[in-house]
With several copies, the nearest count.
Chain A
């Protein structure tokens, strides 16, 4: 199975990378950019085929390591095996 994890900043946390990307895109001549936010995308290949168990386990990974709950949210999607 494959778990797809998105880790993003919580609203209100300053995201200097997102802001820098927005500036750079404007500098390149792209217009109409209201806001840019940068997060992380993590893919995990998992053994087994119990989707619910996998989801629980990956959420636990997020809580324990992959995201910092002070500043980040996460979302977990599990592809069908």
Chain B
């Protein structure tokens, strides 16, 4: 698609190639009062793509609570911003890079990290942590090892090189992702609350400055690709995949932060999906102004690039900014110091139009408002989801908990992820006080007593079985993970990964999940401050499981009050906080026995969630706990084993007739924690729990080299460790395709 405006007739085929429906085209013509030329059509197609316009999702996203006294900036900017006191602010966001990662796992994942880092530092924040949520297909699906290896290496290579620690994330395997893996990346940054930079162009006549890598023919139509369903031929179509350049990103980061210490920058936005088009249109729209660009001034990497290509290129590591008139030299000096390409490519106007010239001729002249603020919005038909799931089958009465536990800990979804996170530099910046492998990661706010707790969560099998409950659970689990280290959960970002919104049942999943998330956010005072929607995650009509990924940030006012999941010493009392009904529906235990997910997911009682969590956090604050871990996938016994392995300290657990049986040990009831304390305070804690309406009971005592159940069943830590640690390396060592 390389041509000059006017040279290509805008036929129905050309319109369709741009992913625009005939009605959408009519709308364009109506909005601008004439037929667009090809450049203009390209600009509309990316701005009105699902990725940029949220045309199918916006209606439902309005349900999210987005305000709280500590929210400085909610959705609508490059990233969300929250206040953590003392003039400090946290800036964070999550984004998907699913399709590129399936086609070229290393570069696709790497550039995903690059993109989300830019979203955060464009707001004036220094990135201090990365997380990533990965969903792969079945372990034996074609190419899956290759995808795992490439994605993990790509994420590591980018974050490690830029020097931002990758401190957490998720990784699970499920056949619904066989043809459509998910790579969601999250960045958390730190800024001064009064030094946040926004993408709102202002100041008529101010120069528009381009900085970063030169523009090539990368990923043209990438944003449209992210909104188009995969089919088996898409590998042959070979859309250009971008190659990441983390070194230039690091220079860009340092240069922007250096320039942001002055008052030269008026507005700034990264050139992400849809590159120069979306950055210029969105900056103009937010500022209520116009922008005039001279595309001949854009630094290009390749010969004979057309205006169409320059406007739509998705070359990485580029930023667009509006700077104060007369301050060009200062900006240029900083960018030259960091050896970056820089050029003044336009200026702010009062026309409300985006106008581009090339070699003196006008190649594009459009009103900003319909582009950025008036995309078509759809109220897509949707059907409420009520899956008729087979109930949990009658499970064999068994007293052999040990073998079941070993099998679970050695399964793809519960095995240790060390193979992944050891490839990420999780310690650079020297503030990571809780490394990967526990609940939330904890990163100090440099030079203060404060720390941030970070976690990324979602349980797609719950979301598939019952979208609304699954949506609630994703938020609740994230909140619980932050609570389990002692942090006060403050806000979330999200990445909503679904199949095609043009299918009512997928829309039903979407609506259900968003509704459940919104309920949980409201009940837990945990607003949504940023996020991303990724639709059309399906191949040949097979959609992924609904995956509304949640990324949460919590605050520890005093980092040294944090607790870890590891049993700290022998002779601590082990307490179970939260009610256990023994819910085996959708549990990993039942899946292991039944061979697939069965039954309905555990109910999420948001009031209990909040009561139990607040109680546990209070204990941690008061330094009354020695360890704490939330109970999630795999249930109570898996959580106990994880604590024992992390601390290399065993435990003796007593059961009673009421607690015996797999439902108690492997059920995935929500709102639960395991906590340890010195024995002297156990009784008082239980009494206080009782008084606060928080179910709690004493399970046993730490110590020894085994997990002992009832004095009968004895599972050695050695065996548990072998099961837990061996699956991932063994799986990856068979890398052959």
Contacts and interface: CB of A to CB of B under 8 A. Distances in A.
Direct contact of A and B (CB under 8 A): yes
Given A20-B247, A24-B735, A27-B736, A14 B103 contact: no
Contacts of B315: 14
B737 interface: yes
Contacts of A70: 103-104, 238, 241
B563 to A, nearest CB: 41
Interface stretch (B131-139, B174-182, B195-203, B210-218): B210-218
A70 B242 CA distance: 10
B110 to A, nearest CB: 11
A71 interface: yes
A15 B301 CA distance: 10
Interface string A12-30: 1111100110011001100
A14 B301 contact: yes
B245 A16 contact: yes
Contacts of B218: 12-14
Contacts of B213: 14, 16
Given A68-B104, A70-B238, A71-B104, A14 B736 contact: no
Interface string B230-251: 0000000010111111011000
Contacts of A28: 736-737
A70 B247 CA distance: 23
B400 interface: no
Interface in A32-55: none
A20 B161 CA distance: 15
A9 interface: yes
Contacts of A71: 104, 107, 240-241, 243
A16 B243 contact: yes
Q: Which label, helix, strand, loop or mixed, suits the secondary structure of the B interface?
A: loop
B7 interface: no
A40 to B, nearest CB: 14
A52 B117 CA distance: 47
Interface residues of A, number: 17
Contacts of A14: 213, 216, 218, 242-243, 245, 301, 315-316
A69 B736 CA distance: 18
A13 B104 contact: no
Contacts of B302: 12
Interface string B86-115: 000000000000000001100100000000
Given A23-B339, A70-B104, A71-B107, A13 B243 contact: yes
B430 interface: no
Contacts of B339: 23
B238 A69 contact: yes
B281 to A, nearest CB: 24
Contacts of B737: 27-28, 64
Contact of B216 (A12, A20, A24, A69): A12
Most buried by B among A14, A16, A28, A64: A14
B736 A16 contact: no
Nearest to A14: B243
A16 B315 CA distance: 12
A15 B316 CA distance: 12
B251 to A, nearest CB: 11
Given A9-B243, A27-B736, A28-B737, A16 B103 contact: no
Nearest to B236: A69
A71 B103 CA distance: 10
Interface string B716-737: 0000000000000000001111
Nearest to A23: B339
Interface in A49-77: 64, 68-71
A24 B104 CA distance: 18
A72 B443 CA distance: 39
A33 B162 CA distance: 28
A27 B734 contact: yes
B363 to A, nearest CB: 22
A70 B736 CA distance: 19
A23 B104 CA distance: 22
Nearest to A19: B245
Contact of A15 (B104, B243, B248): B243
A12 B240 contact: yes
A16 B216 CA distance: 12
Nearest to B249: A16
A19 B216 CA distance: 13
Nearest to A72: B104
A42 B737 CA distance: 19
A27 B245 CA distance: 20
B143 to A, nearest CB: 10
A24 to B, nearest CB: 6
Nearest to A28: B736
A71 to B, nearest CB: 6
Contacts of B301: 14
B247 A12 contact: no
A16 B240 CA distance: 16
A70 B240 CA distance: 7
Nearest to B736: A27
A16 B248 contact: yes
Contacts of A68: 104
Contacts of A20: 247
A28 B737 CA distance: 6
B240 A13 contact: yes
Nearest to A13: B243
A20 B216 CA distance: 16
Given A20-B247, A68-B104, A70-B103, A12 B736 contact: no
A70 B216 CA distance: 16
Contacts of A69: 238
A73 to B, nearest CB: 12
B238 A27 contact: no
B217 to A, nearest CB: 5
B104 A27 contact: no
A16 B301 CA distance: 11
Nearest to B239: A70
A31 to B, nearest CB: 14
A69 B239 CA distance: 11
16 contacts: A12-B216, A12-B217, A12-B218, A13-B218, A14-B242, A14-B243, A14-B245, A14-B301, A16-B243, A23-B339, A27-B735, A27-B737, A64-B737, A69-B238, A70-B104, A71-B104
Given A14-B315, A16-B248, A27-B737, 14 more contacts: A12-B217, A12-B240, A12-B302, A14-B213, A14-B242, A14-B243, A14-B316, A15-B243, A27-B736, A28-B737, A68-B104, A70-B104, A71-B104, A71-B243
Counting from the closest, the 4 A-B pairs by CB-CB distance are: A27-B736, A16-B245, A14-B243, A70-B104
Interface of B: 103-104, 107, 213, 216-218, 238, 240-245, 247-248, 301-302, 315-316, 339, 734-737
